Amino acid sequence: MTFDSNILTMPRSGPFSIEDADSYTAWRAWKLENHPREVAELAVPVENLASPSPAEREKILDLSRRANMAVYDTGERSGVSSPELEHALRAFAAAFGMTAIEDHRSMDEEKVVSIEVVDETVRPRSGFIPYTTRRILWHTDGYYKFGYEGAPVIRSMTLHCARQGREGGVNELLDPEIAYIRLRDENPDFIRALMAPDAMTIPEFVEEDGRKRPESTGPVFWVDEDTGALGMRYTERSRNIAWNDDPVTARAIAFLRQLLRGDDEPFLFRHRMEPGQGLICNNVLHTRTAFTDWDEPGRGRLMYRSRYSNRIMNTGLKQAA
């Protein structure tokens, strides 16, 4: 695959190879035994966002190895937003090796994207669901930036709550490795189908200024050869998406949707972030419920998001070994 020679869609060995049952069995047992079982276990107090302490840093790295995510908490509930906060967020991410930042159309001078409700005059953010009060379905970030030359494959992200809405705005979170386990345990052919290089296609998109985002075709799951880490791209959207036209893929997607929408998955977390809290993760599956915002100017829900092409450091199987 020309867009990223580091990506393996059908690894020959290791826990994510269908042919290597022994490696998978050993890794699966470790994963399920060590994964946090309550959202409270993901919480890490951080005193100085721009410079986390060695103990804070190690706890976040440990959670990222076990669950691909952590929820940090600065304790700052004032709702203040500023370039200084955005700069601190960039420094925080860099402390975990997250430096290959996405060049996003809506980022500001600090290369951070403000996720807030905007009206139709605010370009280029208007017209996209994250900038409304509507719910966001299950997805991984940047699922549409994959499979073409220069595509900035999104492997990690931070999402920081500067201000929360009046009601709602709850995030659901699921480690992609847990989704992989459930799918593989149900039917290994589901993994073969979702690792196919043409499993999912997002059509070409034309920006308002005429720039084109090429058609994005690629797998749902893949493995990064240098780190041994499992990657995932997925969206629950039903429009402007094409799945590989075969019965096994259709059944795999139906199973995954049922998993994500059901109440039986013990590792599916629900959390409404407070101001000063944030998510740092290896691009986990997530949602946002609809919310009601505040009416007062300057008080509306505000989340700061940055996305990166490299993972949180030392969280791949080869790095952690």
Q: Read off the pLDDT of residues 52-69 as tens digits, 9 standing for 90 and up.
A: 999 999 999 999 999 999
Give the SS3 label for residue 69.
strand
Q: pLDDT at residue 170 above 60?
A: yes
pLDDT for residue 67: 98
Look at residue 247 and tell me if it is in a domain. yes
Look at residue 2 and tell me if it is in a domain. no
Rounded percentage of the chain residues whose pLDDT exceeds 70: 93
What φ, ψ does residue 285 adopt, rounded to 5°? -65, 135
Look at residue 60 and tell me if it is in a domain. yes
pLDDT category at 1 given cuts 50, 70, 90 is very low
Domain containing 132: what range?
Answer: 7-320
Dist. CA 281–CA 67, nearest whole Å: 9
Whole-prediction pTM: 0.95
CATH of the domain at 202: 3.60.130.10
Give the SS3 label for residue 98.
coil
pLDDT category at 71 given cuts 50, 70, 90 is very high
Average confidence (pLDDT) over 91-110: 85
Look at residue 1 and tell me if it is in a domain. no
By the 8 A CB rule, do 283 and 158 touch? Answer: no
Least confident of 65-69, 180-184, 210-214, 292-296: 210-214
Q: pLDDT at residue 247 above 50?
A: yes
> Both tokens of residue 271?
């959390």
Q: pLDDT (tens digit, 9 = 90+) per residue, 137-154?
A: 999 999 998 988 888 899
CB atoms within 10 A of CB 108: 12
Q: pLDDT (tens digit, 9 = 90+) per residue, 122-132?
A: 666 667 899 99
Q: pLDDT at residue 31 above 60?
A: yes
Average confidence (pLDDT) over 104-114: 75
Look at residue 148 and tell me if it is in a domain. yes
> Both tokens of residue 83?
């370039």
Domain count, the chain: 1
pLDDT for residue 128: 85
By the 8 A CB rule, do 284 and 176 touch? Answer: yes
pLDDT for residue 4: 64
